[in-house]
Structure 1
Amino acid sequence: MKSNQLKEVALIQFALHGYQGASLAVLADKVGMKKQSIYAHFKSKEDLFISTFNDSLNNELDFIKRFIAENYSLSLKEILFSFFNEYLGRYQKNHNMSFFIRTSFFPPLQFEEQIKSGTNRFVNELESLSLEVFEEKKDDYNLNIAPESAMMSFLTIFDGLLVELLYGFPDRLQKRLNSSWDIYWQGIT
C-alpha cells in the first residue's frame, strides 16, 4: 500500500520538479513517513523514478485504449480530432501525462536508455492501436491511401503537436492543431 502511495506522490513531484528537483524528504513527508523508510519499498530514488515512469507509461496506454473503446462508434474524423483535443488537453490537468511526456522528451541522462525503451514501447503500441482504427474505418477516407500511411501521417502531426505543447503557448497550439487538421483531413479524403 505504501509503495503505491509513494509512487502517486512521486509522480506529482517528478512531474512538477523533474528527477533532480524532486526531494525524497518532501515525498516521505507527504506520505507520512521518514525518508529512510522509502528504502523499505524502493532500493533508491532511481528505482522509484523508473517504477513511476513505467506506471505512467502503462497509464497513458490505458487512457488511449479506453479512449478508442469509448469513441469507436464515431466516424474516423470525429475519433481522430477528438483524440487530438482530449489528449493534448490533459497536459495541464493530468500529472501522469505531463510526467510521461516530459520524461520521454527530456530523460535524465542516467536513465536515457530505459526511458527510450519505454517511449518506443509507447510509440509501437500507439501505432498498433491507431492502425487498427484506420483499418476498421478505411471507408471514411480515400481508398487509394493505405491505412498505414494515413496512420503514420496522423501520428507525425501528433508528434509535432506534442512538441508545440512542450515549447509553445496554448493559443499557438490550437492554431497549429486546427490548421494541420484541416489540411490532413482534406489530404486523406
Structure 2
Amino acid sequence: MSREKIKEAAIAQFNLHGYEGTKMSQIAEEAGIRKQSMAYHFASKKELLTELYGEVVEEEIAFVRSFFGETSNKAWEERLHGYMIEHKNRYLTRPGMHLMFVFSFTTPLEVRDFVLFEYRRYLAVLKNELTALFAKAKVGRLTPEECMVACMTMMDGLDIQLVYETRQAYDQTLAIAWKVFLTGIGHTPAKL
C-alpha cells in the first residue's frame, strides 16, 4: 500500500467529513488497509494532513506559475478570465484543491498555523503573478498592486461561491464581477 493511496483516501475523507470528523480508521478503510498498517506510514492524522496539504499547495503553486507562463502570449484579459475559469474547473475536479480551499476557510484548530502558512504561500505566488500581469499590461488608471488587490478581492468572492454555493453561482457571479472589476480599474471590457 503506497503513501499516495492513503493520501488520496485521506483527501476524500477530509472533504467528506472535515478534519475533526475524520477518523484514521475511516481513511484506512477507504484506502483498503488495516488501521494498524496506517501507523507504518503516518503516526497521526495531523502528520498525514500536513504532508498532503503541503503537497496540494505545491501543486497549486506550480499550476499558477505554469498557467501564467504558458499563456504569456495572450491578451491580459484573456489570461486572467481564463485563469478564473480554470480555477473553478480545478476546484470542481481536483479533490486536493477542494481540500485546500475549504480548509483555508474552515481551518482545523490542531493544524491552523500550518494550514494558514501554506495557504499564504499559495496566495503570495498568485499575487506576484497577478501583479506581474498588470504591470506588463499597463491597464486602467490604477497601479499594478492596486489592480492585483481588486482582482484578489473579486476572486475571494468567487471562491465563496465555489465553497458555499454552486458552479452556476460562480459563473453568474463571475459574469457580473468581471464587468465591475474592469470598470473599477478603468479599463474598457473586452469581449470574451
Query: What TM-score do you get using the length of structure 2 for normalisation?
Result: 0.88
Deviations 1:72-106 (A, max 9, x none): 21100001111111102322221011100001110
The alignment status of 1:163 with 2:165, answered yes or no, reads: no
Tell me by how many angstroms 1:22 deviates: 2.6
Aligned to 1:51: 51
- Partner residue in 1 for 2:86: 86
Residues 5-26 of structure 1: CA distance to partner in whole angstroms, max 9, x if unpaired?
A: 2222212221222212333223
Structure 1 residue 42, shift from structure 2 partner? 1.4
Does the aligned pair in 2 maintain the 1:60–1:96 contact within 8 Å? Answer: no
Q: Which amino acid aligns with 1:45?
A: K
Distance 1:93 1:176 in 2: 20
1:124 positional shift: 1.4
- Partner residue in 2 for 1:149: 146
Q: When the two structures are aligned, how many residues end up with a matched partner? A: 186
Conserved in 2, the CA contact under 8 Å of 1:59 and 1:96? no
Moved over 3 A (4+): 29-32
Deviation at 1:150, TM superposition (A): 0.9
Please, which moves more after superposition, 161-170 or 94-103? 161-170
Cα-Cα RMSD: 1.8
Q: Hey, what's the Cα distance between the residues in 1 that align with 2:85 and 2:66?
A: 15
CA distance in structure 2 between the partners assigned to 1:48 and 1:3 by the alignment: 9
Q: Tell me which amino acid in the other structure corresponds to 1:155.
A: M
| Range that drifts further, 121-130 or 29-38 | 29-38
Q: How does 1:1-189 map to 2 (within 5 A)?
A: 2-138=2-138, 141-142=139-140, 144-188=141-185, 189=187
Taking the aligned partners of 1:2 and 1:105, their CA distance within structure 2 comes to 30
Structure 1 letter corresponding to 2:14: F
Does the Cα contact within 8 Å between 2:161 and 2:170 map onto a contact in 1? yes
- Unmatched tracts of structure 2, length 5 or more: 188-192
* Contact residue 77 and residue 185 of structure 1 kept, 8 A: no
- Structure 1: which 5+ residue stretches go unaligned? none
In 2: Cα distance, 1:105 partner to 1:23 partner:
21
Name the % identity.
Answer: 28
- State how far apart, in whole Å, the 1-side matches of 2:71 and 2:60 are: 17
